Amino acid sequence: MFALGAEGFAAVISPELAAYRKLAPRVRELGDALRALVTSASPAGRIYAALLLGELDPAAGRAAWTQLQASRDGLMFHPGGCHVRISAVLGEIAADALEVGIDEAVVRATQRWRAIHVPPPR
């Protein structure tokens, strides 16, 4: 599961986010491993790898997002706070991340999910 922050009232940090935070300070020494994760990790892991690559080298981050745009893999993500977990398509998040950055990509994915799953008010 992908999340940029803690989940729910208890502010739980997912194992994936904990790993991302642990690796972030070591990004310079992990470049090759991160490039490999962009193709071999879970969908959430590929997002985290692209984010870390972008911190290491913005061009490498853009290349990772470009590569991920072709993915039709589904994933669960948590937009933060007390929202429910939301399903999304990795390639759509990657395309949005390239265009507007990861924070706005999460907003857009949340809006797409709500348009399908939340009935309009009467």
Burial of 56 (0-12, 13-18, 19+ CB in 10 A): middle
| Domain positions in the chain | 2-117
Which comes out higher in pLDDT, residue 60 or 107? 60
Question: How many CB atoms lie under 10 A from the CB of residue 84?
Answer: 12
pLDDT at 40: 94
pLDDT per position as a tens digit, 30-42 = 888 999 999 999 9
pLDDT at 99: 95
pLDDT at 7: 62
pLDDT per position as a tens digit, 48-106 = 899 999 988 999 999 999 999 999 999 888 766 556 677 889 999 999 999 999 888 88
* Helix segments in the chain, DSSP class H: 15-23, 31-40, 43-56, 58-68, 90-100, 102-117
